[in-house]
Amino acid sequence: MSFKKEIAIGLITAALIGGTAAAQVKTPRGGNPEAAKMTNPVPADEASIARGKEYYDEHCANCHMDDASGVEGGMGESGPPASNLIDEHTDFGGTDGELFSVIKGGILPQLYMPMYEGVISDEAIWDVVNYLNTLKE
Ligand code: HEC
């Protein structure tokens, strides 16, 4: 391979990696004003809350605990503890839209908080948001 070609490939690789890193900043610590503008399209009726509980118990409780009070002192790995989801404190924002965005996209870069895009539907994520709102202290 010629030297020029190698440089060209190096530059393209750098641009791709740079582009990915920029696109990944989608769960900003402190809250996400863009996501906060989203309105929850799923009415928080009994059926939605019941579905949300089922999804929560299946997908979230193993890390965030059955009552969503989170895990003290870490997950046994190098990752951060799974957050308390029912107290007033949030790291990534507590509006319906911000919760939706965190659950759908996960928390990059390490995804200790996994992404649920492609795992459960958007409607199911809103059901989980509706359920979490009923647990808040
Ligand atoms: C593998 C463990 C794991 C699973 C499963 C998981 N989470 Fe998380 N979650 C985390 C961790 C760890 C954090 C904190 C990440 C950080 O601070 O970087 C977190 C953070 C969050 C936050 C942000 C809290 C804040 O303070 O702003 C929300 C909301 C959340 N999770 C909801 C959910 C929901 C809902 C589900 C199920 C659909 C779920 N999580 C599944 C580990 C998990």
pTM of the model: 0.85
CATH superfamily of 28-135: Cytochrome c-like domain (1.10.760.10)
pLDDT in tens, 89-102: 999 999 999 999 99
For the CA of 60, the closest atom of ligand 1 is 37
Q: Whose CA is nearest to atom 5 of ligand 1?
A: 60
SS3 117: strand
What's the confidence (pLDDT) of residue 100? 98
From CA 129, how far away is CA 124, in angstroms rounded? 9
46 CA from centroid of ligand 1 (Å):
24
The DSSP output letter for 120 is B
Answer left, alpha or beta for residue 13, where phi above 0 means left and psi between -120 and 50 means alpha.
alpha
From CA 93, how far away is CA 11, in angstroms rounded? 37
Q: Which residues contact 28 (CB under 8 A, 6 or more apart)?
A: 92
Domain definitions of the chain by residue range: 28-135
